[in-house]
């Protein structure tokens, strides 16, 4: 079912709406496919703005409350825009002992973001994550796909300046 009008949203382009309509069309009659549809819509836009969740609810013939409930329950989904670059700072035990707090402080001082926040210009999103399984490299910070181990807090800015 393609709905006749799309809500206005600055982050959702006409091409994205076309793709979203296709996704909803393919999934609306498939029971239990809400999570898949949400994931595909998030891949399309980058996150799930609330007007899009309402639109998805309508397209999937579900209550908005149900769609919001699922989207807010799973950490996989984000209702807020993410940055172009995602910094994952490991807050597991080994990284904690080796000084990840100091690294987080440097990021906060340099870019004015704390865990869970995104810069207003969307350059960086900072996320605290559990053990990344690379404790031998503690403290560990992952930027996009790049793993940075044994990070010296004094190097943090130098590392991050490569990511625009």
Residues near ligand FES (CB under 6 A) = 90, 92-95, 131-135, 138, 140
Q: Closest CB to ligand FES among 54 and 102?
A: 102
Give CA–CA dist 161/139, Å, rounded.
19
In this structure, how many other beta carbons lie within 10 angstroms of the beta carbon of residue 26? 13
CA-closest candidate to residue 24, choices 9, 41, 7: 41
CA-closest candidate to residue 36, choices 47, 23, 46, 48: 23
Q: Closest CB to ligand FES among 79 and 129?
A: 129
Q: Which residue's CB atom is positioned nearest to ligand FES?
A: 92
Q: Least distance in Å: CB of 79 to ligand FES? A: 27
CA-closest candidate to residue 53, choices 101, 94, 106, 12: 12
Q: Least distance in Å: CB of 111 to ligand FES? A: 21
Q: Closest CB to ligand FES among 71 and 138?
A: 138
Alpha-carbon dihedral sign for residues 20, 80, 146, 162: positive
Q: Closest CB to ligand FES among 7 and 99?
A: 99
Q: Least distance in Å: CB of 74 to ligand FES? A: 23
């Amino acid at each position: 079912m393609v709905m006749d009008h799309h809500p206005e949203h600055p982050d959702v382009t006409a091409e994205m709406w076309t793709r979203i309509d296709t996704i909803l069309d393919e999934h609306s009659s498939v029971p239990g496919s809400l999570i898949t549809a949400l994931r595909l819509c998030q891949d399309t836009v980058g996150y799930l703005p609330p007007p899009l969740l309402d639109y998805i609810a309508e397209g999937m013939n579900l209550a908005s409350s149900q769609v919001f409930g699922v989207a807010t329950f799973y950490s996989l989904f984000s209702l807020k825009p993410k940055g172009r670059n995602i910094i994952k700072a490991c807050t597991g035990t080994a990284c904690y002992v080796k000084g990840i707090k100091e690294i987080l402080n440097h990021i906060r001082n340099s870019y004015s973001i704390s865990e869970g926040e995104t810069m207003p210009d969307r350059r960086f999103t900072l996320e605290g994550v559990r053990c990344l399984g690379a404790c031998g490299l503690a403290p560990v910070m992952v930027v996009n796909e790049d793993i940075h181990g044994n990070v010296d807090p004094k190097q943090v800015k130098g590392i991050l300046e490569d990511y625009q």
